[in-house]
Structure 1
């Protein structure tokens, strides 16, 4: 306290000067219309800039929560869209033989659910690439589940802990995905041969089919991992080699794996039932 009094006494003249200056400014602003308006306009502008800067900082630190919320909303909307597509496929099948499915058949309910997750680790330049996502068993994620992005197929869940999971990327030498050419339904297998992370190969398309550059390639739905019709990419090249009975087809992948931020884990509520049935029948799928 003694030091405070000593400071005030030492600078008493300067402090009195500041007090008088503040009093003068107050009197000028208070009793002069023009000066008062100019002061309050300037003060409002600077206060607004300070508040805007403060709001920007607050919003920046809230971006993670905002992005997670938006990703969850997108997952719900995408799941609803996929349900409509499935309903359209059922309706088209029913037109062929109305004795197969009734329009209210609850057994044809859409079995897939989507869980939005943030990508926290990713690789694209190895021969066997993986991702790590911030979802685990606490969120219902299990090994074997498919993973997609807003633009298409990403990969399949490999290992899971309570709050995290690793994903075998489509950019993996042993990752095979059952796919088909959208326009005619001819199915084959998507695999990545290494090198460019933007392109893959569509195998086992027979020579009597007429694939063309620009044709869309989607998932076939012939497994329990990915729903039918998820985009994989577009055909970028078609070659017919004389010593092969299938085309060599290059596919431009729809997902940019170098810029993945959020993905959706695909949960098939009927996967266990179908897998058990096929295993008991001796049907072991060699691709997903």
Structure 2
């Protein structure tokens, strides 16, 4: 048997195993129990307004605010890390390593409870403001490394050509290097946006007011009250809404990455 024939046989075998597993699941699954616990009609019809106009809206809003704040912080950090002044590089490197090493949940708890207890100060916006600052701090560290990689990917000849034309270092960075670096890092930054959107679900640990709740907190509350109480329908609803937001973004990332590969 030739190698190509063995490859085709192996592929067909894997498809057959997958199809058999699907058939077994379809035949053995208790579809009525699945419907009652995860897809209760009353849970969708009775909760959809709050889930979309409160939960999904707040999730998207928190993601946008955290991403913008984190990106601004990342630009400052990457400029410090690439600066010729050693203390700036030390501070930026220490910050990035610290917040990339800490779980986002720990940072959220620290900003929500640790800082107010220790210093008697809470960021603007109360509890939700503290959570958003925590997400900015974490996202800024990750995006700074992404931006640094993008800047270092720009050919050195671009900088040398700009300097030979009499442009100073700051103007070269702002008008030559940074625009090219941003085009390179758009896919990974979009990926970071998706991760940040999912990380907003961690805000439930610090407690949010009724009109501030994001999807996960709202879904958890509906598990104990409302038309879908006692079932996981609200969690399934929240999962579908997360997928409706994140899947287009992930497909956008894949399209941009393929476009960049073709352009190279």
Q: Which has the larger Rg?
A: 1
Name the structure where strand makes up a greater proportion of residues: 1
> Does the pair score TM above 0.5?
no
Range of TM-score over shorter length: under 0.3
